[in-house]
Amino acid sequence: MPNNYFRFKQFTIHQDKCAMKVCTDACLFGAWAADRLLLTANRLPFTAHRSPLATHSFLDIGTGTGLLSLMLAQKNADAIIDAVEIDEAAAQQAKENFAASPWKERLQVYNSSIQQFANSSIRKTQYHLIISNPPFYENDLKSEDIKRNLALHSSELKLEELISIADNLLNDDGNFFVLLPYNRVKDFEVMLTGKFFVKEKMLVKQTAKHGWFRVMWWLVKKEVAMVECEIVIDAAKNYSNEFRELLKEYYLKL
């Protein structure tokens, strides 16, 4: 049974009210997105010193516990982050996690569907960054857990809708980060046509012996040469060097 909380170096995620708990691939995704933003800010090599990206308005679609928003807030001192969550209990949990963090003044939760939020008067005109770990599954068998179904299945938010909403809410120079299962790659790439270009596609393996099971996408609106990379989470019964480098500012034992 998962713990009711997950402690990081600078914040804690309480998760007893959320169907979806903190997981390794979501942590990797948040750390990777934050790292890529810093690369964009300074245009320096991966190992070089970087300063926070000088952008302001971020949007987290389907925030759940608030994990991704908190990871981005830690690395981007000027970011003002709107986090949208359709499930009431999860939205309340994210609000509590934000309030207990060092960046509570820069984090705001909205208990709403992203469709309603996108058309409301409370949202920002456009965002510099949009990030989402959206519902993964379409046309798959569902469990009896209604909240888990909402978090995992795309009946309330289709990928086509997510792309269209991001296209409308992201500014022309903005960055759009998405985490998806590997089996959605081909469909997703077709859906992006005419709206986004792939700046980086990061394929994720649990170990070197496993196949890819997640894909982390870095998308932009202007045409760019795509980079395709691979990262392995575990190596020799421990986290890989690449994983450790990305998560060392977050995980307690790294």
Q: In total, how many domains does the chain have?
A: 1
CB 179 within 8 A of CB 216: yes
CB 64 within 8 A of CB 20: yes
Q: Is 254 inside any structural domain?
A: no
The parent domain of residue 224 ranges over 5-42+52-247
Contacts of 72 (CB under 8 A, 6+ apart): 30, 33, 34, 37, 58, 60, 79, 81, 129, 131
CB 44 within 8 A of CB 35: no
Q: Is 197 inside any structural domain?
A: yes
Q: Is 180 inside any structural domain?
A: yes
Q: Is 253 inside any structural domain?
A: no
Predicted confidence at residue 139, as pLDDT, reads 45
What CATH number corresponds to the domain at position 217? 3.40.50.150
- Looking up tokens 């986090």 gives 83
Q: Return phi, psi of residue 194, to 5°.
A: 85, -5
Predicted confidence at residue 155, as pLDDT, reads 53
Predicted confidence at residue 78, as pLDDT, reads 87
Q: Is 47 inside any structural domain?
A: no
CB 232 within 8 A of CB 208: yes
pTM of the model: 0.88
Q: Is 135 inside any structural domain?
A: yes
User: CB under 8 Å, gap of 24 or more: what pairs does 240-247 form?
Assistant: 243/28, 246/28, 246/31, 246/32, 246/35, 247/27, 247/28, 247/31
Predicted confidence at residue 181, as pLDDT, reads 94
Beta strands in the chain (DSSP E): 5-7, 12-14, 57-61, 80-85, 107-111, 127-132, 170-181, 197-205, 212-220, 227-232, 234-235, 238-239
Predicted confidence at residue 63, as pLDDT, reads 96
Q: Is 57 inside any structural domain?
A: yes
Contacts of 230 (CB under 8 A, 6+ apart): 202, 203, 204, 205, 212
- Looking up tokens 């179904």 gives 149
Predicted confidence at residue 19, as pLDDT, reads 86
Per-residue pLDDT of the chain in tens (254 residues, 90 and over written 9): 457 999 999 999 999 999 888 999 999 999 999 999 887 765 544 444 444 444 589 999 999 999 999 999 999 988 999 999 999 999 999 999 999 999 999 999 999 999 999 998 887 679 999 999 997 645 444 444 444 444 443 456 899 999 999 999 999 999 999 999 999 999 999 999 999 999 999 999 999 999 999 999 999 999 999 999 999 999 888 999 999 999 999 999 99
Q: Is 30 inside any structural domain?
A: yes
